[in-house]
């Protein structure tokens, strides 16, 4: 077989595996949106059958043989070609999936399944000790995973790479450290600032049906295509790109607070635009049909949610419409007061309720602790104390309970060490991309004010979306902005924005 | 391996095949309820991948070997045991699936896919000639299928057996013929009767949200378990039993007519009670987790829709509630007038809009024609003329266009010859079962009047549902009622009911 024929044979297999995986995607979406409670046990059987078949087909030695036969051939000599990048990523994933011993995979699944319930109970009872043995066990298994994968430097690198391929803990930690220092300063300024937004404005009655209408209006203005998608309700909102022409978003309505569904919908629509911007029709199975990383994915959702959706120019266009729809709750509310209310910064215990500024601090703290846990610099038994002392340092608040501290998130009980940093990477990349977009489109704010959000969407499509996973996240960032990961654009953006709002 | 071990190995495979097929079921439900238009092409790829995998695993020669090894063994010497009945039905399905040459299957799928579009256009343009070559081709392919399956008597038997296993055209035709004669007499009496229901009562404004509330109330009263199900909207309402704890129903609301969603919901809930009454948890993969036939399935939906949902005693309980919910539209409407309105009989062209009496005539006509088409007694070119002349005889109405005649249904273009009779078999079995239930529960009407529908549900569960596919439809009927298929209970029921309503 010629390298091209070998590649075609490989892609035929990968295509089928991807379609099969997308079927599991439909089941997963249905699970979170529609499944009757009594159907949960059977759904687990269905999903694990499909997941097993996907895995089995992907780790087939034939895939490894096909990859080896293409690697080094002329077909992949241009490292940035679709073929070369696709082979690079398939090799990366194939090696990772085949390196884990089956017993470890089974043990990991079994443990995290049980740990999840134990964690939920521990959180409900504010009982860190109850969760401790599970945390220890999962840390141990995670280290075993890292050893099986292999790594340079710290074992954490091997885990981080699962979610942010190619990222290394050293470069991430360096940027995070600088960011943390600057954020703590900013937060301090905000605390001592003269202005205090009146958040009661967005915590009044907001009719759910109208919230839905408004959310769909915003999503459509962003370029979310309802002909190839839908908006549903889910307890834990998410976006799923099920395949060409089928990218679905979800949200959650609070009849007494505007922000939850509104910014949630914008966030998910941002993810969805990325999925819709990948050419899945033509390039299914290749890097051009895949997102670059969780960090880059999050950069899309966070840019739309915060840099666009919480911007002055966005609301210049949308506030009159919103005010017309919610006449009672927004009666007499001025533009400036509303704008300040949706940008309120208020340090609190809970990550998922955090504002734009403190959200990053929540992540940085988690990253520091989980890195140290994996490395062995902190013992699992000390995780709660370590959490609380760092929280005090960064937020100037005493944690009142472990339920509001290190027990609040599901991630560790699910074994997702290495996942947290991608949230913050998303925010950082978002600011870097957004700064570049503003350079390229000098009148971007004017466009927003007139309801034109498609110019930004198009910029993102060309610069980010259509490149798919051709480049690793940091390389994509360099290609677009000229430099790699940098916390500066985010701090510039935040200092300017919150300086104006809070008057310092 | 002992016969038991062989059976266990067989069931392990069948179980996995069933779970895989149920995944396709989820995709199918999602397709009809949720799929964004742009996702249709990819969904077809997903579904056909899963369908292909299901087929491939089921026709694996190993399945045939396992079946052969069990057949004749002690394990299946009691023909009514779960094991024996399961092996019997698997053998039946395995033989049918393996007997069709692959080229014929492919040709059939390709042809019906194209024919479906041609049919839709022909119906829109009232152009039978346009559809004729496709009808001829599908008839030819259907006869080839029958030859490949093999049959006794007429080739139609081989096709009917796909939907109503074990039924033969002779016994069905015999009962249908008697039924037709009696129905034509009944219809004539109704036409010349003194009473005329005022249908405008149910053709007023009925708020869709309230219709949904009322429909769910009725479904819950019937015993439909919303903890293991849900009610959604679909263009072509259907029920799907996706697995243990997950049985979903759909309906379609008309804001200007009460009947569509109301009786549609009751109909689908009737199907759903059957699915929920099968012990899929314990007996997954066996005959006890499968319905007996399409006819028996339809008996459950039609009994609830018509014999219960259109009964006097049902409305003695529900009419006051309905009246309280739709105060404007039902203001001043008497019980008798409402009862007559939901039981109005009005011959019309379209099967899916037909009332309880004429619905059967629609089916009988289709059965007679498709049987003759397959046999070759009628040429495809004469199908429209034959349709119209029979319609005139049975309904005393001239068909005004082929779109309202032989082009109205999707079935023939989809190659579903042999499917139609199951609708009428359902009505007949329903009447037979219902008569027996009334014998066994003499105060059944009193129970309905007081809102107790669970007694009937329980009777159905014990007598019909929990037997699954252990017995073929006609045998199940004999076991329950003492006799096989008979049109008498249905005619007794109809003559009595409509005699009262119409005053003859």
B18 and B142 belong to one structural domain: no
- Residues in CB range of A463: below 8 A, 6 or more apart: A433, A436, A437, A480
- Residue B17 CA, chain-centre distance (Å), reads 24
**Chain B neighbors of A35, CB-CB under 8 A:** 246
Residue A337 pLDDT level (bands cut at 50, 70, 90): very high
Question: For B46, which of A22, A30, A40 is closest by C-beta distance?
Answer: A22
Give domain status of residue A321, yes or no.
yes
CA distance A437 to chain B (A): 30
Instruction: List the single residue in B with minimal CA-CA distance to A22.
Output: B46
Total tally of structural domains belonging to chain B: 2
The number of beta carbons lying within 10 Å of the beta carbon of residue A442 is 8
Tokens at B129, concatenated = 């000639």
Average pLDDT, chain B: 97
CA distance A372 to chain B (A): 42
| In the block, residue with structure tokens 């958040």 | A199
Q: Residues B337, B342, B345, B348: what is their CA dihedral angle, to the nearest 10 degrees?
A: 130
| In the block, residue with structure tokens 């309700």 | A233
Chain B interface disruption, residue of A24, A26, A276, most B CBs within 10 A: A26
Please indicate whether, in this complex, the C-beta atoms of B242 and A34 are within 8 angstroms of each other.
Answer: no
B94 and B178 belong to one structural domain: no
Q: How far apart are CA B197 and CA B132, in angstroms?
A: 40
Look up B97 and say whether it is catalytic. Answer: no
Chain A interface disruption, residue of B13, B17, B43, most A CBs within 10 A: B43
CA distance B223 to chain A (A): 15
Please indicate whether, in this complex, the C-beta atoms of A228 and B37 are within 8 angstroms of each other.
Answer: yes
Q: Which own/partner contact pairs does B247-251 have at CB distance under 8 Å and 24+ positions apart? A: B247/B272, B247/B275, B247/B276, B248/A36, B248/B29, B248/B272, B249/B219, B249/B224, B250/B32, B250/B33, B251/B215
Q: How far apart are CA A416 and CA B134, in angstroms?
A: 56
Q: What is the ipTM of this complex?
A: 0.93
Please indicate whether, in this complex, the C-beta atoms of B26 and A22 are within 8 angstroms of each other.
Answer: no
Residue A273 pLDDT level (bands cut at 50, 70, 90): very high
Q: Please count the residue pairs, one from chain A and one from chain B, whose beta carbons lie less than 8 angstroms apart.
A: 107
Residues of A known to be catalytic: 268
3-state SS of B113-169 is HHHHHHHHHHHHHCCHHHHHHHHHHHHHHHHHHHHHHCCCCCCHHHHHHHHCCCCCH
A206 and A74 belong to one structural domain: no
Task: Evaluate whether B184 touches B361 at the Cβ level (below 8 Å).
Answer: yes
Tokens at B456, concatenated = 């009937």
**Chain B neighbors of A49, CB-CB under 8 A:** 16, 19-20, 23
Query: B125, B67, B112: which is closest to B91 by C-alpha?
Result: B67
CA distance A234 to chain B (A): 15
Please indicate whether, in this complex, the C-beta atoms of A26 and B38 are within 8 angstroms of each other.
Answer: no
**Chain B neighbors of A285, CB-CB under 8 A:** none
- Model-level pTM? 0.94
Give domain status of residue B12, yes or no.
yes
- The B-side interface with A (CB below 8 A) comprises 16, 19-20, 22-23, 26-27, 30, 34-43, 45-46, 49-50, 225-230, 242-246, 248
Task: Evaluate whether B476 touches B426 at the Cβ level (below 8 Å).
Answer: no
- Residues in CB range of B110: below 8 A, 6 or more apart: none
Q: How far apart are CA B416 and CA A376, in angstroms?
A: 66
Going from the C-alpha of B308 to that of each of A14, A425, B223, B457, B459, the distances in angstroms are 53, 62, 13, 11, 14
| In the block, residue with structure tokens 């129970």 | B447
Q: Which of A49, A75, A99 is the last residue of a domain?
A: A99
Please indicate whether, in this complex, the C-beta atoms of B36 and A227 are within 8 angstroms of each other.
Answer: yes
B145 and B223 belong to one structural domain: yes
Please indicate whether, in this complex, the C-beta atoms of B225 and A38 are within 8 angstroms of each other.
Answer: yes
Residue B92 has what pLDDT? Answer: 97
A454 and A331 belong to one structural domain: yes
Residue B425 has what pLDDT? Answer: 98
User: Quick one: average pLDDT of A19-24?
Assistant: 98
Give domain status of residue B364, yes or no.
yes
**Chain A neighbors of B45, CB-CB under 8 A:** 19, 243
CA distance B388 to chain A (A): 41
User: Quick one: average pLDDT of B67-91?
Assistant: 97
Residue A464 has what pLDDT? Answer: 98
Please indicate whether, in this complex, the C-beta atoms of B228 and A39 are within 8 angstroms of each other.
Answer: yes
Question: For B22, which of A20, A46, A242 is closest by C-beta distance?
Answer: A46
Gap between the terminal Cα atoms of chain B: 68
Please indicate whether, in this complex, the C-beta atoms of B243 and A42 are within 8 angstroms of each other.
Answer: yes
Residue A428 has what pLDDT? Answer: 98
A418: left (phi over 0), alpha (psi -120 to 50) or beta: left
Please indicate whether, in this complex, the C-beta atoms of A245 and B41 are within 8 angstroms of each other.
Answer: yes
Please indicate whether, in this complex, the C-beta atoms of B16 and A244 are within 8 angstroms of each other.
Answer: no
Q: Order of strands, edge to edge, in the sheet holding A231-233?
A: A231-233, A246-251, A239-243
Please indicate whether, in this complex, the C-beta atoms of B49 and A20 are within 8 angstroms of each other.
Answer: yes
**Chain A neighbors of B16, CB-CB under 8 A:** 49
The number of beta carbons lying within 10 Å of the beta carbon of residue A314 is 23
Residue B414 has what pLDDT? Answer: 95
Q: How far apart are CA B412 and CA A194, in angstroms?
A: 77
Residue B107 pLDDT level (bands cut at 50, 70, 90): very high
Q: How far apart are CA A370 and CA A417, in angstroms?
A: 7
Going from the C-alpha of B410 to that of each of B45, B330, B413, the distances in angstroms are 22, 36, 6
Tokens at A437, concatenated = 């977009």
Task: Evaluate whether B281 touches A40 at the Cβ level (below 8 Å).
Answer: no
**Chain A neighbors of B40, CB-CB under 8 A:** 245
- Residue A37 CA, chain-centre distance (Å), reads 27
Query: A232, A220, A226: which is closest to A245 by C-alpha?
Result: A226
Query: B272, B308, B318, B316: which is closest to B456 by C-alpha?
Result: B308
Share above pLDDT 70 across residues of chain B, in percent, rounded to a whole number: 100
Domain that holds residue B10: 1-99
Give domain status of residue B105, yes or no.
no
Please indicate whether, in this complex, the C-beta atoms of A243 and B46 are within 8 angstroms of each other.
Answer: yes
**Chain B neighbors of A246, CB-CB under 8 A:** 35-36, 38-39, 42-43
Tokens at B311, concatenated = 């009964």
Chain A interface disruption, residue of B16, B18, B25, B26, most A CBs within 10 A: B26
Task: Evaluate whether A273 touches A457 at the Cβ level (below 8 Å).
Answer: yes
A304 and A448 belong to one structural domain: yes
Task: Evaluate whether B165 touches B94 at the Cβ level (below 8 Å).
Answer: no
Q: How far apart are CA A243 and CA B308, in angstroms?
A: 44
Instruction: List the single residue in B with minimal CA-CA distance to A35.
Output: B246
Q: How far apart are CA B18 and CA B284, in angstroms?
A: 8
Bridge partners for B240 per DSSP: B248
Question: For A228, which of B30, B39, B50 is closest by C-beta distance?
Answer: B39
B337 and B221 belong to one structural domain: yes
**Chain A neighbors of B46, CB-CB under 8 A:** 19, 22-23, 26, 243
User: Quick one: average pLDDT of B350-354?
Assistant: 94
Share above pLDDT 70 across residues of chain A, in percent, rounded to a whole number: 100
Please indicate whether, in this complex, the C-beta atoms of A248 and B46 are within 8 angstroms of each other.
Answer: no
Q: What is the pLDDT of residues A125-174, one digit of tens each?
A: 999 999 999 999 999 999 999 999 999 999 999 999 999 999 999 999 99
Instruction: List the single residue in A with minimal CA-CA distance to B230.
Output: A36
Q: What is the pLDDT of residues A274-290, one digit of tens each?
A: 999 999 999 999 999 99
B231 and B94 belong to one structural domain: no
| Farthest CA pair distance, chain A | 73
Q: How far apart are CA A130 and CA A215, in angstroms?
A: 41
- Strands A239-243 and A246-251, by their bridges, are antiparallel
**CATH code, B423:** 1.10.1370.30
Q: How far apart are CA A483 and CA A477, in angstroms?
A: 7
3-state SS of B37-98 is HHHHHHHHHHHHHHHHHHHHHHCCHHHHHHHHHHCCCHHHCCCCCHHHHHHHHHHHHHHHHH
**DSSP single-letter state for residue A303:** I
Tokens at B420, concatenated = 């139609």
| In the block, residue with structure tokens 């301090």 | A188
Residue B25 has what pLDDT? Answer: 97
**Chain B neighbors of A225, CB-CB under 8 A:** 38
Give domain status of residue A143, yes or no.
no
Q: Would you report the helix, strand and coil content of chain A in percent, each value rounded to 5? A: 70, 5, 25
Bridge partners for A250 per DSSP: A232
Query: A216, A233, A231, A229: which is closest to A276 by C-alpha?
Result: A229
Instruction: List the single residue in A with minimal CA-CA distance to B248.
Output: A36
The number of beta carbons lying within 10 Å of the beta carbon of residue A227 is 10
Give domain status of residue B193, yes or no.
yes
Give domain status of residue A228, yes or no.
yes
B341: left (phi over 0), alpha (psi -120 to 50) or beta: alpha
Q: How far apart are CA A284 and CA A274, in angstroms?
A: 15
Residue B126 has what pLDDT? Answer: 97
Residue A415 has what pLDDT? Answer: 96
> Which ranges constitute the DSSP H helices of A100-127?
102-125
Q: Order of strands, edge to edge, in the sheet holding B246-251?
A: B231-233, B246-251, B239-243
Residue B481 has what pLDDT? Answer: 98
Residue A335 has what pLDDT? Answer: 98
Chain A interface disruption, residue of B39, B57, B209, B220, most A CBs within 10 A: B39
How many residues appear in chain B?
504
- The A-side interface with B (CB below 8 A) comprises 16, 19-20, 22-23, 26-27, 30, 34-43, 45-46, 49-50, 225-230, 242-246, 248
- Strands B246-251 and B239-243, by their bridges, are antiparallel
- Residues in CB range of B91: below 8 A, 6 or more apart: B67, B71
Question: For B36, which of A16, A42, A229 is closest by C-beta distance?
Answer: A229
Question: For A245, which of B42, B244, B248 is closest by C-beta distance?
Answer: B42
B494 and B349 belong to one structural domain: yes
User: Pick the catalytic residue: B268, B275, B356, B368?
Assistant: B268
B73 and B172 belong to one structural domain: no
Task: Evaluate whether B215 touches B224 at the Cβ level (below 8 Å).
Answer: no
B74 and B208 belong to one structural domain: no
B170 and B94 belong to one structural domain: no
Helix (H, G, I), strand (E, B) or coil at B357: helix
Give domain status of residue B354, yes or no.
yes
Question: For B228, which of A22, A36, A243 is closest by C-beta distance?
Answer: A36
Q: Which of B99, B125, B159 is the last residue of a domain?
A: B99
Tokens at A273, concatenated = 């635009």
Query: B242, B34, B26, B46: which is closest to A248 by C-alpha?
Result: B34
Tokens at B189, concatenated = 């009496």
Instruction: List the single residue in A with minimal CA-CA distance to B44.
Output: A19
Q: How far apart are CA B21 and CA B163, in angstroms?
A: 18
**Chain A neighbors of B37, CB-CB under 8 A:** 227-228, 245
Residue B155 has what pLDDT? Answer: 97
**Chain A neighbors of B246, CB-CB under 8 A:** 35-36, 38-39, 42-43
**Dihedral sign from CA coordinates of B240, B242, B245, B248:** negative
Query: A105, A135, A97, A109: which is closest to A44 by C-alpha?
Result: A109
Q: What is the pLDDT of residues A28-57, one digit of tens each?
A: 999 999 999 999 999 999 999 999 999 999
Tokens at A475, concatenated = 């390389």
Q: How far apart are CA B326 and CA B262, in angstroms?
A: 13
Burial (CB count within 10 angstroms: exposed 0-12, middle 13-18, buried 19+), residue B276: buried
């Amino acid at each position: 077989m010629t390298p091209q024929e070998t590649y075609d044979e490989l892609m035929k297999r990968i295509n089928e595996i991807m379609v099969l995986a997308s079927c599991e995607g439909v089941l997963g979406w249905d699970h979170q949106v529609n499944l009757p409670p009594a159907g949960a046990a059977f759904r687990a059987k269905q999903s694990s059958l499909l997941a097993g078949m996907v895995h089995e087909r992907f780790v087939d030695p034939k895939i490894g043989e096909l990859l080896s036969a293409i690697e080094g051939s002329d077909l992949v000599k241009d490292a940035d070609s679709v073929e070369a990048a696709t082979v690079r990523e398939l090799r990366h994933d194939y090696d990772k999936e085949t390196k884990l011993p089956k017993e470890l995979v089974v043990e990991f699944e079994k443990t995290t399944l049980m740990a999840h319930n134990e964690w939920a109970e521990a959180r409900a009872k504010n009982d860190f000790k109850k969760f401790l043995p599970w945390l220890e066990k999962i840390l141990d298994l995670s280290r075993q995973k890292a050893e099986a994968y292999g790594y340079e430097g710290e074992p954490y690198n091997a885990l981080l790479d699962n979610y942010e391929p190619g990222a290394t803990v050293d470069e991430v930690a360096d940027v995070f450290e600088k960011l943390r220092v600057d954020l703590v300063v900013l937060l301090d300024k905000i605390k001592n600032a003269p202005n205090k937004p009146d958040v009661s404005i967005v915590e009044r009655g907001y009719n759910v049906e109208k919230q839905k209408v408004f959310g769909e209006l915003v999503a459509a203005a962003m370029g979310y295509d309802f002909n190839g998608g839908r908006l549903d309700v889910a307890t834990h909102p998410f976006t799923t790109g099920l395949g060409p022409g089928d990218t679905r978003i979800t949200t959650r309505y609070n009849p007494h607070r505007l922000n939850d569904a509104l910014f949630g919908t914008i966030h998910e629509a941002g993810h969805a635009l990325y999925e819709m911007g990948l050419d899945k029709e033509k390039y299914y199975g290749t890097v051009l049909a895949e997102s670059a990383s969780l960090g880059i994915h999050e950069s899309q959702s966070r840019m739309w949610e915060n840099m666009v959706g919480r911007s002055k120019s966005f609301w210049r266009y949308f506030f009159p419409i919103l005010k017309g729809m919610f006449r009672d709750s927004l009666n007499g509310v001025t533009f400036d007061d509303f704008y300040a209310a949706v940008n309120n910064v208020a340090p609190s215990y809970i990550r998922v309720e955090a504002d734009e500024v403190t959200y990053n601090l929540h992540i940085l703290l988690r990253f520091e602790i989980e890195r140290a846990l994996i490395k062995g610099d902190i013992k699992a038994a000390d995780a709660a104390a370590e959490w609380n002392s760092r929280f005090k340092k960064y937020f100037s608040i005493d944690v009142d309970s472990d339920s509001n501290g290190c027990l609040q998130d599901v991630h560790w009980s699910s074994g997702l060490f290495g996942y947290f940093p991608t949230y913050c990477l998303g925010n950082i990349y978002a600011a870097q991309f957004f700064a570049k977009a503003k350079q390229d489109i000098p009148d971007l704010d004017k466009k927003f004010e007139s309801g034109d959000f498609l110019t930004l969407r198009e910029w993102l499509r060309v610069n980010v979306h259509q490149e798919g996973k051709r480049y690793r996240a940091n390389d994509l960032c360099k290609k677009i902005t000229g430099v790699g990961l940098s916390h500066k654009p985010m701090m510039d953006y935040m200092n300017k924005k919150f300086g104006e709002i809070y008057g310092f």
